[in-house]
Structure 1
């Protein structure tokens, strides 16, 4: 299934847009993971080198006719030479967001009396990640003592964000290639695409976006979290907090997670960490595996399913991972005229979960 009038283009800093034609791409996105965009291009220039690509800004654009449906911006971190058919050289590019660079630095470091936003700001700015914004609905108090111990900056940040109930995704402007990293701790910070109709009877090419497959799954998971810690400043402090899971769907309540040490030194962090943990343990107890022709269904988006025969599924969902695949074989010299196709396979969870 695909949209009429589809085409894909790629711009790389320093190269003319006409020097590279997109043969195909795969975009892998998931909450709290830097995206990976794999792009195959064909070029009449056979002698492009690594210097022409590595660390260069690149923008993939998905068009329907003359209207851009989506932009994906990043930096090229890998290039591989492919085959040459005597007319064109094939190049395979891997494109990642600026956040990926944080994985190349490793450090031992102490942060004292700083909250998660201050720590994030320091490390992101040091790694050149300037386009980011926090969307916080919780207080996230300052930490008395926080240690980065032999971790990469990316591993350290993702660990802290997970402890604080924060997930991240890339926000894309509705029009234009503007893109930024969003740190979010509540589904209220996830934008809505509105209603998305369920239509399993689509042909190979349609003019409107829809969801062609929606497979719901429920599973048993941990039912509660208990966490405890100790501080030498107040030895008698119990430092014990618990949180029961919600939306159990009839499962037993005996599946307890006990976490010690809980990595907190005060009541505010203890209560919050227990809640964040049970939400994390149960985030995938209700999921939907879906397929669509819309390139806009990706992490950081919500939608309302309509028209499904099971009325309980006609509600709001949020996308947590997606694989967007596009093929444009006519970009190759001598192709047999196969059409451009776009497939989006994604996973969603109920929109009230994080």
Structure 2
């Protein structure tokens, strides 16, 4: 994102708001009012009411379409341009909010001023405009998130993680926006994100803890402070306790260790004020080993309880920011005089004198409404619903060039989905997919591997795009049945193809009336083993043709 333009310094008297957009002149726009909301794991959003002596901002031509001399700034000089809103007190900068313009509206015109409205959002907002389906393989979650961010030019992201996340063998973004996928993946890992709005280029911070949260100057609780920033204070503060889940149990299954009970439980502390038997159980837990299970279960519990103990208040402190640590003092309830972690803030400012028509009689005011939790709690975002696969999908089996059969020790194969536009149609097209067989026991059953180029039907366990499994095979226009249809519709056929050669083995059943037949063809050798007696009854003729030697041992 381009660096936000520096806001002009106002006269050093009183409370004032200024704004600067892109390369527009510093004195072109005046702030009439604003509402700016920020929260953990949410896009910040500011709605700015502005006024300008130029009645034609965003309009580069005259009313009849001809070009005018000295045209007003056009829309491309406003939309998606960096913007900075600044709050000043007696010429000193108290707080600034930096982002990009995502919306611009022109309102009514007065005698001297025209009203405009601008919406400010972070560069991360652009990920919500991108909708995609793709596969990430053997990548860590933070590497996946970096890819999403860097594709949109967000390269200054800070990953502040105490616990490193292992690679995900197979992770699918399916018919969801880049932003929804990023938020879903981060929430699964128990990561939150926040913005340093007071920076020139507000960096995105993705973290799994709050230990390094910026500590604000101590806030004094004063119910009579009012809205003047000359007396910084918290003038309303209340505390709420909610009954929430007391424990989380999550279970999953892995074919690598099918008998193992892959189940983990996490219990909340400090349950003196509520019952402890409110348990949240879920399956599948989306983990395949104990380390991930413990982490996911704890993160789930903390997410379900992220609003169990919440304070809300109002203040005139512009420095209050989501993710900051707030030491509170002078509250009448002594147990509330402690450190709090701010989770949400809505900033509101009014500067009516920016509209000359208003006469300038009303003062400039600022206040905010905020929410916070005890600073010793871990705030985790609530998990987002993953996309559900509506049903089975068609895919083509893939593998290395020059190979016909490609599998691993579990009989798994790789495929390419028609929607995967990033696939190279090789052995890297997907992760290994298990293949459903007609019969599967302990070293007995049926085994027929799909070969490269075969069309298969892929289902998804619990509708999870990250857990595909091959449940069927189909012919298509290129891969046709062994015999022409419907001409040979009475034949049931098991026919193979020689690997990297010509020929086949075949077992065929003909069920046409009066033509019934069982046909067996071995491309090379046919070995029969009878462990005990063998009985053969021929009710008509028997013919044997041996074109070379015949040897019998009795």
Write the distance in 2 (CA, Å) between the matches of 1:116 and 1:218: 34
How much has 1:203 moved relative to structure 2?
Answer: 4.4
Unpaired segments ≥5 residues, structure 2: 1-12, 59-74, 380-554
Separation in 2 of the partners of 1:260 and 1:331? 57
Q: Partner residue of 2:309?
A: 286
Q: Distance in 1 between matches of 2:229 and 2:356?
A: 27
Q: Deviations over 1:141-182 (max 9, x none)?
A: 222221111111110111111111111111144xx6342111
Question: In structure 2, how many angstroms separate the alpha carbons of the residues matched to 1:72 and 1:97?
Answer: 10
SS at match of 2:261: coil
**What is the Cα deviation at residue 14 of structure 1?**
2.5
The structure with more helix, counted as a fraction of residues: 1
Deviation at 1:227, TM superposition (A): 0.7
- Cα deviations across residues 46-78 of structure 1 (Å, max 9, x unaligned)? 111133311111111111111111111111111
> Equivalent residue for 1:145?
170
- 1:233, CA displacement in angstroms? 2.4
Distance 1:206 1:153 in 2: 40
In 1: Cα distance, 2:236 partner to 2:120 partner: 29
SS in structure 2 opposite 1:312? helix
Which of 239, 242, 245 pairs up with 1:222? 245
Please give the secondary structure, in 2, of the residue aligned with 1:226: strand
| Greater fraction strand | 1
Q: 1:120 aligns with which of 145, 158, 165?
A: 145
Greater Rg over alpha carbons, structure = 2
Q: 2:298 aligns with which of 251, 254, 275?
A: 275
For residues 24-173 of structure 1, the aligned pairs below 5 Å read: 24-49=33-58, 50-173=75-198
CA contact (8 A) 1:9 1:61 kept: yes
2:276 is equivalent to residue 253 of structure 1: yes
Structure-2 change in CA distance of 1:206 and 1:180 (3 Å): closer
1:141/1:268 contact within 8 Å kept: no
CA contact (8 A) 1:29 1:321 kept: yes
Stretches of 4+ moved more than 3 A in 1?
A: none
**In 2, Cα distance between equivalents of 1:109 and 1:244:** 36
Q: In 2 relative to 1, CA 158–146 (structure 1 residues): closer, same or farther, beyond 3 Å?
A: same
2:370 aligns with one of 325, 329, 346: 346
DSSP 3-state at the match of 1:188: coil
How far apart, in 2, do the equivalents of 1:84 and 1:247 lie?
58
Quick check: 1:9 aligned with 2:33? Answer: no
Is 2:252–2:287's contact at 8 Å kept on the other side of the alignment? yes
Aligned position for 2:32: 23
Counterpart of 1:212 in structure 2 is 235
Q: Cα 1:230–1:204, aligned 2, differ >3 Å: closer, same or farther?
A: closer
- Distance of 1:194 and 1:302 partners within structure 2: 9
Cα RMSD between the aligned structures? Answer: 1.4
The total of aligned residue pairs comes to 349
Q: Deviation per CA, 1:295-332: give whole Å up to 9, x if none.
A: 11120211111111111111110110111000000000
Task: Quickly say closer, same or farther: Cα 1:122–1:203, change in 2 above 3 A.
Answer: closer
Q: Give the TM-score normalised by structure 1.
A: 0.95
DSSP-derived class of the 2:296 partner:
helix
Distance 1:5 1:116 in 2: 48
How far apart, CA to CA, are the structure 1 residues paired with 2:115 and 2:99? 20
Tell me, in whole angstroms, the C-alpha distance in 1 between the residues paired with 2:97 and 2:229. 23
Gaps of 5+ in 1: none
Alignment CA distance shift 1:65-1:177 (3 Å) = farther
Give the whole-Å Cα distance in 2 for the aligned partners of 1:23 and 1:194.
29
d(CA) in 2 for partners of 1:199, 1:215 = 13
CA distance in 2, matches of 1:178, 1:248: 42
Partner residue, 1:241: 264
Query: Which range is displaced more, 204-213 or 344-353?
Result: 204-213
| 2:46 and 2:119 in contact (8 A); partners too | yes
